[in-house]
Amino acid sequence: MRKYIWWIIGGGSLLLGMVLLTAAFFGGAKGIYLSDDGFEVAGDTIVIEETVKGGFTSVDIDCDIGEIELRASKDGSYGYRLEYTDDYFHSNQLEVINGTLTVTNRHTDKTWTVNRSIPWKYDPVYKLSVTYPAGTKFDNVDAVNALGTIRLNDFETDSLNVTANLGDVRASNVISYGTVMTLDLGHLDFDGELYGGTDIRASLGDVNINTDVAEEEYEFIFDVELGNITIGGKNIRADNGKVTGGSGRNSLRVNCDLGSIDIDFGKRNESYESSRK
């Protein structure tokens, strides 16, 4: 008799699972997941798109997971567009505070999941796009992302601080007067101008820098544990993995544990030299 009871319980659990799967599929939900509270239906994708009148002077982003992009707007306005899965983030902040666009998210831990199109998989969404007039001068740009790519485009800033735990950082047409970048696992591609002090640390991944500032305007230290150092397309023989040089007013320090460093310098920037006298 006890054996039949267990069969009944098992059959009832299987039937309940089938009902939940059917409801999720035909109801248009993205799937169901098994959390600490039991079976739950995955939420919808929410889209928030706003124009910020008066703009913002700084950007402060701190995310657990997501695809982050800063780019010039087509119409010269300030704003943002956020697309995210509502049940996956238990904390989600997006607002302008004292001139700073502040963005944070904290994800909810999910365990076993079922997706409508891909069995046993549930892909949450978090895509943030911050827009502004091309060439905008910011006071500070801070971006932290534990998982996902960070893309930076078409701005100037007095201070640039970027941390990427698992994901690439790609910067194009960016001018910074003080830079700190830390990457645990991912590549860095930077194209722009680096002035003042620049400190870049990468644990596992390549660092590629194309700066329009001339080599003689830097004091530089390039240090690798395992990898190559290339300057201007030429592979440099490093002394114990370290290359030093220059006596310029700008410092450029790059440390890479496992990966290569590739640096391309520009021509002397006379306008910059005259503006700093």
pLDDT in tens, 111-158: 434 444 444 444 678 999 999 999 999 999 999 999 999 999 999 999
Percent of the chain surpassing pLDDT 70:
73
The tokens 């009902």 sit on which residue?
Answer: 19
Residue 210 near residue 265 (C-beta atoms within 8 A): no
Cα atoms in the 13 Å half-sphere on the side-chain side of 214: 12
Give the SS3 label for residue 214: strand
Residue 36 is predicted with a pLDDT of: 47
For 201, residues 6+ apart whose C-beta sits below 8 A from its C-beta are 181, 182, 183, 254, 255, 256
Please give the biggest Cα pair distance in the chain: 94
Residue 139 near residue 58 (C-beta atoms within 8 A): yes
Residue 102 near residue 96 (C-beta atoms within 8 A): yes
61 - beta bridge partners?
103, 143
User: What are the Cα distances from residue 218, in Å, to 34, 179, 233, 250, 269?
Assistant: 54, 14, 18, 5, 12
**Taking the complete model, does pTM exceed 0.95, yes or no?**
no
